[in-house]
Amino acid sequence: MALVSALVYLPGLHASYSGGLVEVERWLNHPMLLGGIAVALFVVSLVVELEFRTWVSQVGCAVGLVALLFVGLPFAWLVFIFGGDGLEFTRETGPEHPDQVLAVTNIAASIDPIYKVQVLTGSGWSARHWELGVWDERDGRGWFKGAEWSGPNRITVTSEKEIAVFTLDPVSGRPGEPVTTKR
């Protein structure tokens, strides 16, 4: 069962890349949670297999469980704090394509924002997400200013030092390489 929990994560990991299925990523891309379940199931399987007739085995098991508790609680805290997908900053439907959505999410786990810009195409289980990029003030492009639809199949992302224009494929919604100009 521990191996199954670890294997369930693989489709979620694959869906997290640009072009992946949104719902598969949302349901299965939780490495800390699924990894914690795998570790817990592994420990349970070890405890079930051991005999606790002797005093040494009982003390050894108690020491092992206390050590696991000291590792497990920080792990659970990390899952609670960093387990989310970020805070959605803006969400805007395409001007001529209601099935295309421009989403800007703050994915930072700290005070300094890091913005992930992506286009969601389709709906339901066939919806895909296409990543336009991640804007962080430390990457040399300066502070993120905003992202907006600048045409039916065009998105403009503005930062402090540059403007990037992405053209989307009219059928699939897949973004092409950006045309970048300095400000």
pLDDT of res. 176: 92
pTM of the predicted protein model: 0.70
Residue carrying the six token digits 């973004």: 175
pLDDT in tens, 133-152: 999 888 878 889 999 999 88
Q: Would the pLDDT of 173 be above 80?
A: yes
Higher pLDDT, 175 or 78: 175
pLDDT, one tens digit per residue, over 48-60 is: 776 667 788 778 8
Instruction: Give 157-165's long-range contacts (Cβ < 8 A, gap of 24+).
Output: 157/117, 157/132, 157/133, 158/183, 159/135, 159/183, 164/132, 164/133
In this prediction, residue 131 carries a pLDDT of 93
Q: pLDDT tens digit string along 12-31?
A: 888 888 888 888 888 888 77
157: Cβ contacts below 8 Å, ≥ 6 apart: 117, 132, 133, 135, 144, 146, 147, 163, 164, 165, 166, 178
